Amino acid sequence: MPSLSQAYRGHPVHVFHHKHPDFNSIQKLPESYTWSNDHDHTTTTTTSNCSVPVIDLSDPNASKLIGHACKTWGAFQVVNHGVPLSLLDDMNWVGHTLFSLPSHQKLKAARSPDGVSGYGLARISSFFPKLMWSEGFTIVGSPVDHFRQLWPQDYAKYCDIVVQYDETMKKLAGNLMSLMLEPLGITKEDLKWAGKKGQFKKANCAAMQLNSYPSCPDPDRAMGLAPHTDSTLLTILHQNDISGLQVQQEGTPGWVTVPPLPGALVVNVGDLLHILSNGSYPSVLHRVVVNRIRQRFSVAYLYGPPPNAEICPHAKLVGPTQPPLYRSVTWNEYLGTKAKYFNKALSSVRLRASSINGLFDVNETHHHKSTVQVG
Ligand code: OGA
Ligand code: NI
């Protein structure tokens, strides 16, 4: 079975290698970073009572609330999730320290053209004509080789934090999977790839994405991270204390800010859980906007199945009146589809397209075609 990094490597996303700017020294937004004047800022809602639900994982009703959030938003925040705040702080410190290194040092750990791990532009950059006001560092497998380049003396302490974060988030992701599946009538035992005891343990794979969004001289015309859905089962995001993450609710125009809450984690439904749920959980379209004052850091934990497990609408959700909406795909194959079609990847694996030409027009939910409008 290929590892996740082999799966990613098999589907390189061709990112044109720009010289990374020193964001802090730029006084005026360069043309190459200028998206538009008005990327829908006017329709953005910012009050927390109309944003994604905040769910207390110690609430006996948590699963029911999560099911509702997944159906209506494809996203929610969790508190009382059991992840020590000190670990979130430590991981934030890793990101902060990493992105504060001088450019030439960071470039020693640059993502290679056919690789996935390392420092570089957002993976989705190749699909947009403009550059995003952000830097990223992707970790798949052990970060030790790259961290040794960045911190020749004390890389071990940074690696230890990443390993601990991985173990802790993997457990939380397994628990969240159970809580998200329960409202659909699916148990862990119903999923062959969830492992013998349905623990979602060994078999599942994950990647980590550290993001930095420097303060920006012209935030209304820049884009931190362009609209996308995640190619995961679910994503757990720690966004620290600065806002920037926005989501779109299916069927509702405009962007809604997901306000940072101390210690809370944001959970996104990804494309694979959307498929598994036979469309009842939308994979949430999200983006990141930047601000003039403060640099923002985030850590995304991208959680998926074993790379070669077949993911399809679950048998319990399919019947004579509920035809399967998607064909079966492996994560490995889906990453390839995403690398080719990006936000149209889901429609490309959707069933009942009447013709190849119509493939991307059939039954498309609003958000999977909205990407290119920005920019
Ligand atoms: C991502 C992502 C959001 C953020 O890395 O896929 O959506 O707030 N990040 O950085
Ligand atoms: Ni994302």
Report residue 250's pLDDT band, with 50, 70 and 90 as the boundaries: confident
pLDDT tens across 81-133, in order? Answer: 999 999 999 999 999 999 999 999 999 999 887 778 999 988 788 889 999 99
- 155-181 vs 85-100: helix axis angle to the nearest 10? 130
Question: Are the CB atoms for 349 and 334 separated by under 8 Å?
Answer: yes
**Structure confidence at residue 199 (pLDDT):** 61
Question: Are the CB atoms for 284 and 276 separated by under 8 Å?
Answer: no
In the set 287, 296, 327, 350, the catalytic residue is 296
Please give the distance, rounded to the nearest whole angstrom, from the Cα atom of residue 298 to the centre of ligand 2.
11
Q: Which amino acid is at 301?
A: Y
Q: Which amino acid is at 215?
A: S
Average pLDDT, the chain: 86
More confident residue, 38 or 149: 149
Token reading at 60: 């006996």
Please give the distance, rounded to the nearest whole angstrom, from the Cα atom of residue 155 to the centre of ligand 2.
27
Question: What is the distance between the terminal CA atoms of the chain, rounded to a whole angstrom?
Answer: 39
Instruction: Locate the ligand 1 atom nearest the alpha carbon of residue 287 and give its number.
Output: 7
**Structure confidence at residue 46 (pLDDT):** 55
Token reading at 173: 């992701």
What's the CA gap between 325 and 313, in Å, rounded?
A: 7
Closest CA to 324 of 334, 306, 311: 311
Q: Give the number of domains in the chain.
A: 1
Active site residue 123: no
**Structure confidence at residue 188 (pLDDT):** 84
User: Which of 121-135, 198-212, 258-272, 320-334 shows the lowest per-residue confidence on average (mean pLDDT)?
Assistant: 198-212
User: pLDDT at residue 38 above 60?
Assistant: no
What's the CA gap between 180 and 234, in Å, rounded?
A: 10
Closest CA to 235 of 189, 279, 285: 285
What's the CA gap between 300 and 93, in Å, rounded?
A: 14
Question: Are the CB atoms for 5 and 116 separated by under 8 Å?
Answer: yes
- Does the Cβ of 249 fall within 6 Å of ligand 1? no
CATH code for the domain in which residue 132 is found: 2.60.120.330
Ligand 1, atom 2, lies closest to the CA of 300
In three-state secondary structure terms, 41 is: helix
Mutate to test the pocket of ligand 1, among 210, 225, 285 (most ligand atoms within 8 A of CB): 225
In three-state secondary structure terms, 302 is: strand
Ligand 1, atom 10, lies closest to the CA of 298
Token reading at 217: 């001289």
- Provide the strand spans (E) within 134-222: 135-139, 205-213
Mean pLDDT over residues 317-327, rounded? Answer: 94
**Structure confidence at residue 18 (pLDDT):** 53
Token reading at 289: 């906007």
The residue written with tokens 């015309």 in the block is 221
Q: Report the Cα 210 to chain-centroid distance in Å.
A: 11
Domain of residue 353, residue span: 4-371
pLDDT tens across 346-365, in order? Answer: 999 999 744 334 444 444 44
Residues of the chain above pLDDT 90, percent: 66
pLDDT tens across 12-28, in order? Answer: 554 444 556 678 788 89
User: pLDDT at residue 1 above 80?
Assistant: no
